[in-house]
Structures are given as C-alpha cells and as structure tokens.
Structure 1
Amino acid sequence: MFGRAPKKSDNTKYYEILGVPKTASPDDLKKAYKKAAIKNHPDKGGDPEKFKELAHAYEVLSDPEKREIYDQYGEDALKEGMGGGGGMHDPFDIFSSFFGGGPFGGGGSSRGRRQRRGEDVVHPLKASLEDLYGGTIKKLSLSRNVLCSKCNGKGSKSGASMKCSGCQGTGMKVTIRQLGPGMIQQMQHACNECKGSGETINDRDRCPLCKGEKVVQEKKVLEVHVEKGMQNSQKITFPGEADEAPDTVTGDIVFILQQKEHPKFKRKGDDLFVEHTLSLTEALCGFQFILSHLDGRQLLIKSQPGEVVKPG
C-alpha cells in the first residue's frame, strides 16, 4: 500500500486492554494476557468481544515489528498495512498456543481446537461424448502431500519445536520502507524463516524422512467413475483426498468434466442432434440412410412415403 505517513493515531489502547504500561517487557505481556484471557474466556462465561480484543492486542504487542509500527504511528497505521486489520489469527488459536489446546486442562474447548481447512485441488477431466453416453471409469495417477509417518507430522524426532524468532510465532512479518519525505510503504508477508508456520525445528532434531517438512509426497491412483448422462462441467468429488498438512482438515480433490467436441453429434441437455445433407432428389422423392449411434447401434433413418423434406 502506498500513501502519506499516517497521522499519529491512538497508540495506547492495546496496552490499556492488557493492563500494562508502554514499557512492558515480552514476559510482562505474556503474564498479563494469560491472566486476562483465562478470566474472559467464553467457555467460562467471559465476554467474547473482550476475549477477542485481548488476543488482538497481544498479537500486535508480542510482535516486535508490529509493536514498533503501533508505538510510532498508532492503530490506524497497522490497519492500513494489514488491509483493514486483516491477517490476525483466530483468538482461540492464540489462546490454545499457551495452554496446549485446552484452556482448563484435558479436552478443553471445541473452539480452542478448531482447525483450518485445507484447499481443494481441482483438476479438469476431458471426456468424450461416448464416455458421457455410456459411462466409463478413468484411472488417474496423482501425487499429493501426506503427513510424515515417521514423525507423525511433527517434523522432529522428539516431537518438539520452537517458536520462530523471526516472527515471534505469528508466521507473518511486516516490512516498512521509506519511499520519500512523508511517504512510507507497508507490506505484510509470510515469514521467510519458518515459511509462515510460526515455528522452527532444531537441525539436529529434524526428522530424517521428511527433513523437518512434516509431509512427504505420495503417489495414488484414483478411479473416477463417469456415470451415464453426466453433463459438461459437472463435478466429481473425492472428499479428503487433497494435500495433508499438520492441524489442517484435508480438502477434497474435485474433477470437473470437460466434454470433447464430437465430429458427428451435438448435445443439448439430454438430446443428441446430427446434421445430414440430402440431395434434391432425396428431399423430393424420399430418402433413407444408416446412422451409427454412440453405443455402436445402427439406426435406419428414412422419410415417410410422399413426404417432402424442407431445409433445416
């Protein structure tokens, strides 16, 4: 985003929400957030809006780069740089990072364990008119990411990971560039040190199979059943067969049928049309010819006795 250096807006609100001074250390912020978040957690009858505000304030102030922007330019500058305040994490995810998924021991809140959904993978699938008329089975070989079986998707031999120091565990970085007098550019991007995951793994502790990537590639053959009468652009879905990732609900693989052009027939809905050229004699005196159907049947097409066939 390009623009003039923003007027200084409120830069004390987040400190007030957490109840700490502007000189608070990272440890002070952690303690203040923990105490207030437990008190205001919706599962304990707390105010959901207050709980959301606490998480938002802590996420900004715990990130050195975001805190610097906030201290220098205020809340409005942060919102401009993040597209209206976007890019913030789910408040329940931030809470669960402190308490291991359950706010008060054991299973904890279902909201605290919410997982994001992986993206669906969409593939076009070309099918002839014969395939769509009679039905067919197409076998397709695909590669996808699956959770590493050796480390159960942890990426490390011990199962441990560390908060990324480059982004303080948020997975995102904010960069400010001075373009000229009174002109700044703010950009938010995924942290290059942890690839947006918010955590890093010690080199010695990396899983030898996935090299710390948490996933490995797997080849799989899918049988796609094209049913009789399926339409162009119709979807065939394989639930949960897309790329796997840690703490993510696996998306679907979706095939979209693309009907290939046929040299003889045109399809309109459930009807087939065919064009046939007649001579003048055939049009006036009658005609007959053999038409091969899509399933191989031979159909005799002929005019009625005495019928005169007009063009079209």
Structure 2
Amino acid sequence: MSRSPRLLTAVAAAALLLAVPAHAQDVPSATVTTPTTGAGVEVGVPLLITGSSFSATPEAVTTELTFDGGATWVAAETVRVLAGWRADWRHTYTPQVAGDLAIAARAVTGAGAGAAGPAVTVHVGGTTTPQPVNCAVRCEFTSPYAPEVDDPDAQPVEVGVRVRLDRPGVILGASLLRGAYRGPITLRMWSDDGVLLAEREWDHPGRMAEIDFPAPVPVEAGRDYVVSYYTPQGGYASSENHFTGTVVHAPFTAPHDGTHGAGVYHYGTGGGFPTDAWHDSTYWVQPEFRG
C-alpha cells in the first residue's frame, strides 16, 4: 500500500499501538473507517465500505454489516489479518433508495458476534455535510488497504486518481508509491474537463515519493479533479479491483461513476489527461489538501 514518509511514520506508530492492546476487550468489536459520516452518496452507485474488526484473543475474526438497524446482516470480505486478533475488511454496497442510510458493523469470532459498533450515516441522494477535519497543515487522501504489485507494463503512461473535495482549499501535491521504474516522472493536476492546472518534474530513485507543486492549486468544493503522474517507461505500482465503489474519507471523495472507479490512466509519449479505467485499479496516487 502507498505510504509517504510522513504517513509511514504515522502508520508505524499506530501499528505499534495496535500490536499490543492497551487493554483487553471483553467482546469482539468493529469500526467503520469509510465512508465518513455525513457524506452524500448517489442512488444506484456503488459505495465502498471499509473498516477493522478486533477480538479479545488471537483467534479468527470476521465481520458482518447491517444497513437496516440490525434486522439483517451481510458478511464483509476480510482483506488482511494482523496478529490474529485484527482483521481489515471491505464491502461494496449499492444504495437503491434516497434518504439517510445508517451503516454499522460487528465482529464475529468462534464465541459469537459482538455488539454493533457506532453507526456511520450517509445521505443517499443528498448533499454532503462536511465533517470537522483539521486540514490546516495538510490532509492526505488514503485509500483502503490492498496488496500492491509492480506492474510490468513498460509503455509511456500517465496514471492517477479522480478526487472531489467537500470544502474549498488547495491541493499541495501528492504522495506516490512507485513501481520498478525509478527514473524521472512528472506530477500533474487537471480540472474535470482536462485543463492542466499544475505540474512538477521530479527525479529521485526512491520507491516513495512526496511531491509538492510549485504553488498550491485552488480547488472548489464538489468539483472533480485528477491528480496523476507521467512515467515514460511504465513500471508503476497498481492494485486491481480496488475502487469498486465510491470512497469517502473526508475531506476527499474518490467517486465511482457507476461503471468505473476513480483510478484513471492515459497511454502515450508525454502523457496527457487520463480518463481510461482498468478493472477499478488504483495507482497509489494520494493527493494532499490544505483548507
């Protein structure tokens, strides 16, 4: 999974805390990470729900979700197990009726199901209610966990992600996870209609890249933007079947258009505005916002 140096430090600290629970839990528990509560989502468009579940002891833990206040439950897909007592999970759900939708999760072990965790409420067919997220310095868009691969594709290509902000501010740049190609690349930002708004060339052999544009780029709330990078010899990192639904992690939304996820690409020497999609892939481009 993509990690900037700043994000790596935060994740390492969090992992250390999670590796040894501060206190034992009497029952299994589950939390919903995305979507952020208060988000506005569309009727008939897939929504990606992610989170983590925990058990009191190192034993298998799975997760169930409810969309009707606990009357029925559906199983989520476990994507990673840590230390036997934590499971990261995901589930793609397509809301069909406008109105408020409460999403809650519960963890399940051999001893049975735990209580439902706090519900996250989204507004289907409604507007987003921006949550109090502190982005005075910068907030980074973080995708849910997925195992990444170094794509063997060696063609010149531009790869990126389509994002939307729930508040005005500026895009500072992006952090990237690179693949096997470690030569010069160009980070770019585009409007929703393909106007190039900013770019910066970057040349460093590291796998992780954190690149700021020459100047912050103003963004409007509710409008789509694309942040991408051009690699002249392919060699990028990717994960297929990742953006299977809209991802909402305030202040960012990575929108699903009903057919394709937010990951985009464009082949050609010199790159260009990326609009093509492949198997709901992510290319581990993580825009950074201030506002």
TM-score category of the 2 structures, normalised to the smaller one: under 0.3
Structure with bigger gyration radius: 1
For normalisation by structure 2, the TM-score amounts to 0.20
Higher relative contact order (CA 8 A, sep 6+): 2
